[in-house]
Structure 1
Amino acid sequence: MHALVVYDTNYGSTRTIAEVIATELGRGTTTLSVSDITEASLDGVDVLVVGCPINGWKPTDRMRRFLRTLAPGSLAGVRAAAFDTRIKLFIHGDAAAKISHALHAAGATIVAKPHGFVVDGTEGPLAAGETGKAGAWAAYIGAELRASA
Protein backbone atom coordinates (compact mmCIF):
# COMPACT_ATOMS: atom_id res chain seq x y z
CA MET A 1 0.00 0.00 0.00
CA HIS A 2 1.30 3.44 -0.92
CA ALA A 3 -0.47 6.05 1.20
CA LEU A 4 0.08 9.79 0.95
CA VAL A 5 -1.04 12.40 3.47
CA VAL A 6 -1.18 15.82 1.81
CA TYR A 7 -1.55 18.79 4.13
CA ASP A 8 -1.43 22.55 4.25
CA THR A 9 -0.53 24.33 7.46
CA ASN A 10 -0.17 27.88 8.67
CA TYR A 11 1.22 27.40 12.18
CA GLY A 12 2.13 23.70 12.30
CA SER A 13 -0.97 22.16 13.88
CA THR A 14 -2.24 20.60 10.66
CA ARG A 15 1.23 19.21 9.89
CA THR A 16 1.25 17.59 13.34
CA ILE A 17 -2.11 15.93 12.64
CA ALA A 18 -0.85 14.77 9.21
CA GLU A 19 2.24 13.22 10.79
CA VAL A 20 0.15 11.39 13.41
CA ILE A 21 -2.10 10.02 10.66
CA ALA A 22 0.90 8.90 8.59
CA THR A 23 2.48 7.18 11.58
CA GLU A 24 -0.73 5.32 12.38
CA LEU A 25 -1.26 4.23 8.76
CA GLY A 26 2.24 2.78 8.90
CA ARG A 27 4.88 1.66 6.47
CA GLY A 28 4.45 2.94 2.95
CA THR A 29 2.87 6.19 4.12
CA THR A 30 4.45 9.56 3.45
CA THR A 31 3.46 13.14 4.20
CA LEU A 32 3.76 15.98 1.74
CA SER A 33 3.00 19.68 2.05
CA VAL A 34 0.56 20.81 -0.61
CA SER A 35 3.13 23.49 -1.49
CA ASP A 36 5.54 20.73 -2.57
CA ILE A 37 3.13 18.58 -4.56
CA THR A 38 3.86 17.87 -8.23
CA GLU A 39 1.98 15.97 -10.92
CA ALA A 40 4.12 12.91 -10.17
CA SER A 41 3.35 13.01 -6.44
CA LEU A 42 0.12 11.06 -6.88
CA ASP A 43 1.62 8.35 -9.12
CA GLY A 44 1.04 4.93 -7.58
CA VAL A 45 -0.90 6.28 -4.60
CA ASP A 46 -3.51 3.83 -3.31
CA VAL A 47 -4.63 5.87 -0.29
CA LEU A 48 -4.85 9.65 -0.13
CA VAL A 49 -5.59 11.60 3.06
CA VAL A 50 -5.86 15.36 2.62
CA GLY A 51 -6.20 18.11 5.20
CA CYS A 52 -5.77 21.80 5.94
CA PRO A 53 -6.91 24.48 8.34
CA ILE A 54 -10.26 26.14 7.82
CA ASN A 55 -9.60 29.52 6.25
CA GLY A 56 -12.54 31.84 5.74
CA TRP A 57 -15.00 28.93 6.22
CA LYS A 58 -13.35 26.82 3.51
CA PRO A 59 -10.03 25.14 2.62
CA THR A 60 -6.94 27.33 2.31
CA ASP A 61 -6.16 28.93 -1.05
CA ARG A 62 -3.19 26.57 -1.56
CA MET A 63 -5.40 23.54 -0.93
CA ARG A 64 -8.17 24.80 -3.21
CA ARG A 65 -5.61 25.32 -6.00
CA PHE A 66 -4.43 21.71 -5.56
CA LEU A 67 -7.98 20.34 -5.51
CA ARG A 68 -8.80 22.19 -8.74
CA THR A 69 -5.97 20.29 -10.48
CA LEU A 70 -7.72 16.96 -9.85
CA ALA A 71 -9.54 16.09 -13.06
CA PRO A 72 -12.69 13.95 -12.94
CA GLY A 73 -11.60 10.32 -12.78
CA SER A 74 -8.00 11.17 -11.90
CA LEU A 75 -8.36 9.46 -8.51
CA ALA A 76 -10.22 6.38 -9.76
CA GLY A 77 -9.15 3.40 -7.66
CA VAL A 78 -7.77 5.61 -4.87
CA ARG A 79 -9.28 5.37 -1.40
CA ALA A 80 -9.38 8.72 0.36
CA ALA A 81 -10.31 10.70 3.45
CA ALA A 82 -10.21 14.36 4.46
CA PHE A 83 -9.64 16.35 7.64
CA ASP A 84 -9.27 19.92 8.80
CA THR A 85 -8.09 21.84 11.82
CA ARG A 86 -10.48 24.35 13.33
CA ILE A 87 -11.14 26.62 16.23
CA LYS A 88 -14.07 25.39 18.30
CA LEU A 89 -16.73 28.01 17.62
CA PHE A 90 -20.47 27.87 17.14
CA ILE A 91 -19.94 28.65 13.46
CA HIS A 92 -16.62 27.59 11.97
CA GLY A 93 -17.01 26.32 8.42
CA ASP A 94 -16.04 22.86 7.22
CA ALA A 95 -12.97 22.53 5.03
CA ALA A 96 -12.87 18.74 5.46
CA ALA A 97 -16.28 18.22 3.86
CA LYS A 98 -15.30 20.40 0.90
CA ILE A 99 -12.03 18.50 0.48
CA SER A 100 -13.87 15.17 0.69
CA HIS A 101 -16.35 16.34 -1.95
CA ALA A 102 -13.49 17.34 -4.29
CA LEU A 103 -11.71 14.00 -3.79
CA HIS A 104 -14.94 12.12 -4.54
CA ALA A 105 -15.56 14.30 -7.62
CA ALA A 106 -12.09 13.26 -8.85
CA GLY A 107 -13.12 9.60 -8.59
CA ALA A 108 -11.77 8.60 -5.17
CA THR A 109 -13.67 6.22 -2.92
CA ILE A 110 -14.18 7.97 0.42
CA VAL A 111 -13.40 5.56 3.26
CA ALA A 112 -14.12 7.77 6.30
CA LYS A 113 -16.33 10.71 7.12
CA PRO A 114 -14.50 14.05 7.02
CA HIS A 115 -13.06 14.91 10.42
CA GLY A 116 -12.21 18.17 12.18
CA PHE A 117 -9.48 18.50 14.81
CA VAL A 118 -9.64 21.40 17.26
CA VAL A 119 -6.96 24.01 17.88
CA ASP A 120 -6.90 26.47 20.78
CA GLY A 121 -6.77 29.73 18.86
CA THR A 122 -5.76 30.72 15.36
CA GLU A 123 -2.09 29.88 15.91
CA GLY A 124 -2.77 26.77 17.99
CA PRO A 125 -1.68 24.73 19.73
CA LEU A 126 -3.83 21.67 19.16
CA ALA A 127 -6.44 21.23 21.88
CA ALA A 128 -5.77 18.57 24.50
CA GLY A 129 -6.38 15.06 23.18
CA GLU A 130 -6.53 15.96 19.49
CA THR A 131 -3.43 14.00 18.50
CA GLY A 132 -4.95 10.94 20.18
CA LYS A 133 -8.17 11.52 18.23
CA ALA A 134 -6.15 11.80 15.02
CA GLY A 135 -4.46 8.49 15.76
CA ALA A 136 -7.83 6.85 16.44
CA TRP A 137 -9.30 8.28 13.22
CA ALA A 138 -6.31 7.01 11.24
CA ALA A 139 -6.65 3.59 12.89
CA TYR A 140 -10.29 3.54 11.76
CA ILE A 141 -9.17 4.39 8.21
CA GLY A 142 -6.59 1.59 8.37
CA ALA A 143 -9.26 -0.88 9.49
CA GLU A 144 -11.54 0.22 6.64
CA LEU A 145 -8.70 -0.24 4.17
CA ARG A 146 -7.95 -3.74 5.43
CA ALA A 147 -11.64 -4.67 5.38
CA SER A 148 -12.02 -3.57 1.77
CA ALA A 149 -8.75 -5.07 0.52
Structure 2
Amino acid sequence: MKAVIVYDSVYGNTKAIAEAVAAGLGAGARAVPVAGFVPGSLQAGDLLVVGSPINGWRPTPAIASALGDLAGGGLTGVKAAAFDTRLKLFIHGDAGKKISRALQEAGASIIGGPMAFYVKGTEGPLLAGEAGRAAAWADELAAAMK
Protein backbone atom coordinates (compact mmCIF):
# COMPACT_ATOMS: atom_id res chain seq x y z
CA MET A 1 0.00 0.00 0.00
CA LYS A 2 1.17 3.46 -0.86
CA ALA A 3 -0.15 6.33 1.25
CA VAL A 4 -0.09 9.99 0.26
CA ILE A 5 -1.06 12.71 2.69
CA VAL A 6 -1.85 15.85 0.69
CA TYR A 7 -2.11 19.09 2.64
CA ASP A 8 -2.23 22.83 2.39
CA SER A 9 -0.83 24.78 5.33
CA VAL A 10 -0.70 28.48 6.09
CA TYR A 11 1.13 28.56 9.45
CA GLY A 12 2.61 25.04 9.48
CA ASN A 13 -0.02 23.40 11.70
CA THR A 14 -1.69 21.36 8.97
CA LYS A 15 1.74 20.36 7.67
CA ALA A 16 2.68 19.11 11.14
CA ILE A 17 -0.47 16.96 11.29
CA ALA A 18 0.15 15.61 7.78
CA GLU A 19 3.71 14.66 8.74
CA ALA A 20 2.50 12.99 11.95
CA VAL A 21 -0.04 10.96 9.95
CA ALA A 22 2.65 9.95 7.43
CA ALA A 23 5.01 8.92 10.23
CA GLY A 24 2.21 6.97 11.89
CA LEU A 25 1.45 5.10 8.67
CA GLY A 26 5.12 4.17 8.32
CA ALA A 27 7.06 3.05 5.25
CA GLY A 28 5.46 3.96 1.96
CA ALA A 29 3.65 7.01 3.38
CA ARG A 30 4.62 10.56 2.55
CA ALA A 31 3.25 14.01 3.21
CA VAL A 32 3.01 16.15 0.07
CA PRO A 33 2.07 19.83 -0.21
CA VAL A 34 -0.94 20.25 -2.49
CA ALA A 35 1.20 22.08 -5.08
CA GLY A 36 3.34 18.93 -5.46
CA PHE A 37 0.48 16.43 -5.64
CA VAL A 38 0.29 14.31 -8.81
CA PRO A 39 -3.17 12.68 -8.89
CA GLY A 40 -2.15 10.15 -11.55
CA SER A 41 0.35 8.62 -9.13
CA LEU A 42 -2.44 6.91 -7.18
CA GLN A 43 -3.65 3.41 -7.97
CA ALA A 44 -6.48 1.24 -6.70
CA GLY A 45 -5.70 0.13 -3.16
CA ASP A 46 -3.61 3.21 -2.31
CA LEU A 47 -4.54 5.53 0.55
CA LEU A 48 -5.09 9.27 0.02
CA VAL A 49 -5.47 11.50 3.06
CA VAL A 50 -6.26 15.16 2.42
CA GLY A 51 -5.97 17.94 4.99
CA SER A 52 -6.59 21.66 5.09
CA PRO A 53 -6.97 24.44 7.60
CA ILE A 54 -10.47 25.85 7.71
CA ASN A 55 -10.47 28.87 5.43
CA GLY A 56 -13.71 30.83 5.39
CA TRP A 57 -15.71 27.82 6.63
CA ARG A 58 -14.24 25.50 3.96
CA PRO A 59 -10.96 24.01 2.71
CA THR A 60 -8.36 26.37 1.26
CA PRO A 61 -8.76 27.31 -2.42
CA ALA A 62 -5.71 25.18 -3.32
CA ILE A 63 -7.24 22.06 -1.77
CA ALA A 64 -10.64 22.80 -3.32
CA SER A 65 -8.99 23.16 -6.74
CA ALA A 66 -7.08 19.88 -6.36
CA LEU A 67 -10.27 18.09 -5.35
CA GLY A 68 -12.07 19.63 -8.33
CA ASP A 69 -9.39 18.18 -10.62
CA LEU A 70 -10.23 14.71 -9.26
CA ALA A 71 -13.97 14.97 -9.90
CA GLY A 72 -15.59 12.39 -12.11
CA GLY A 73 -14.10 9.18 -10.80
CA GLY A 74 -10.43 10.05 -10.66
CA LEU A 75 -10.10 8.12 -7.40
CA THR A 76 -11.90 4.89 -8.23
CA GLY A 77 -10.46 2.11 -6.07
CA VAL A 78 -8.48 4.50 -3.86
CA LYS A 79 -9.13 4.52 -0.11
CA ALA A 80 -9.38 7.98 1.44
CA ALA A 81 -9.80 10.06 4.57
CA ALA A 82 -9.82 13.76 5.41
CA PHE A 83 -8.85 16.11 8.20
CA ASP A 84 -8.79 19.78 9.01
CA THR A 85 -7.08 22.07 11.49
CA ARG A 86 -9.22 24.56 13.36
CA LEU A 87 -9.75 26.67 16.42
CA LYS A 88 -11.69 25.02 19.20
CA LEU A 89 -14.86 27.11 18.89
CA PHE A 90 -18.56 26.37 19.04
CA ILE A 91 -18.99 27.57 15.43
CA HIS A 92 -16.02 26.87 13.17
CA GLY A 93 -16.94 25.38 9.79
CA ASP A 94 -16.02 21.87 8.74
CA ALA A 95 -13.42 21.60 5.98
CA GLY A 96 -12.80 17.92 6.75
CA LYS A 97 -16.41 17.00 6.02
CA LYS A 98 -16.36 18.94 2.73
CA ILE A 99 -13.07 17.29 1.72
CA SER A 100 -14.45 13.85 2.58
CA ARG A 101 -17.55 14.47 0.47
CA ALA A 102 -15.43 15.62 -2.50
CA LEU A 103 -13.18 12.55 -2.20
CA GLN A 104 -16.22 10.29 -2.22
CA GLU A 105 -17.68 12.11 -5.23
CA ALA A 106 -14.36 11.51 -7.03
CA GLY A 107 -14.81 7.76 -6.53
CA ALA A 108 -12.75 7.12 -3.38
CA SER A 109 -13.86 4.74 -0.66
CA ILE A 110 -13.91 6.68 2.61
CA ILE A 111 -12.36 4.55 5.36
CA GLY A 112 -12.86 6.89 8.31
CA GLY A 113 -14.85 9.93 9.25
CA PRO A 114 -13.19 13.33 8.91
CA MET A 115 -10.94 14.31 11.80
CA ALA A 116 -10.46 17.72 13.38
CA PHE A 117 -7.17 18.79 14.93
CA TYR A 118 -7.03 21.90 17.06
CA VAL A 119 -4.76 24.93 17.11
CA LYS A 120 -4.33 27.67 19.69
CA GLY A 121 -5.21 31.04 18.26
CA THR A 122 -5.40 31.92 14.60
CA GLU A 123 -1.81 30.96 13.81
CA GLY A 124 -1.29 28.11 16.26
CA PRO A 125 0.64 26.30 17.52
CA LEU A 126 -1.19 22.99 17.68
CA LEU A 127 -2.77 22.29 21.05
CA ALA A 128 -0.83 19.86 23.22
CA GLY A 129 -1.35 16.25 22.19
CA GLU A 130 -2.66 16.91 18.68
CA ALA A 131 0.35 15.36 16.90
CA GLY A 132 -0.12 12.27 19.08
CA ARG A 133 -3.81 12.16 18.14
CA ALA A 134 -2.78 12.32 14.48
CA ALA A 135 -0.42 9.36 14.91
CA ALA A 136 -3.19 7.38 16.67
CA TRP A 137 -5.59 8.24 13.83
CA ALA A 138 -2.97 6.96 11.37
CA ASP A 139 -3.04 3.62 13.24
CA GLU A 140 -6.82 3.52 12.78
CA LEU A 141 -6.47 4.26 9.06
CA ALA A 142 -3.85 1.54 8.65
CA ALA A 143 -6.12 -0.96 10.41
CA ALA A 144 -9.02 0.02 8.13
CA MET A 145 -6.83 -0.66 5.08
CA LYS A 146 -6.42 -4.34 6.00
Which residue of structure 2 aligns with residue 92 of structure 1?
92
Alignment of 1:84-123 (within 5 A): 84-123=84-123
> How many correspondences in the alignment?
146
1:44 Cα deviation from its structure 2 partner: 6.8
Larger CA deviation: 14-23 vs 27-36: 27-36
The AA in structure 1 aligned to 2:38 is T
Distance 1:113 1:40 in 2: 24
| Residue pair 1:4, 1:45 contacting (<8 A) in 2 also | no
The AA in structure 2 aligned to 1:132 is G
| Residue pair 1:83, 1:114 contacting (<8 A) in 2 also | yes
Q: Give the ranges of 4+ consecutive aligned residues of structure 1 lying more than 6 Å apart after TM superposition.
A: none
What TM-score comes out, normalization by structure 1 length? 0.93
Percent of residue pairs bearing the same amino acid type: 54
Deviations 1:16-36, CA, capped at 9 Å, x for gaps: 000000011111111110022
Which residue of structure 1 aligns with residue 17 of structure 2?
17
Larger CA deviation: 92-101 vs 33-42: 33-42
Unaligned runs of 5+ in 1: none
The AA in structure 2 aligned to 1:18 is A
1:53 maps onto 2:18 in alignment: no
Distance 1:40 1:145 in 2: 20
Distance 2:44 2:107 in 1: 15
Unaligned runs of 5+ in 2: none
| Residue pair 1:78, 1:109 contacting (<8 A) in 2 also | yes
Secondary structure of residue in 2 paired with 1:62: helix
Which residue of structure 2 aligns with residue 76 of structure 1?
76
Which residue of structure 2 aligns with residue 26 of structure 1?
26
| Residue pair 2:44, 2:77 contacting (<8 A) in 1 also | no
Distance 2:137 2:115 in 1: 8
Which residue of structure 2 aligns with residue 36 of structure 1?
36
1:40 Cα deviation from its structure 2 partner: 3.7
Larger CA deviation: 114-123 vs 70-79: 70-79
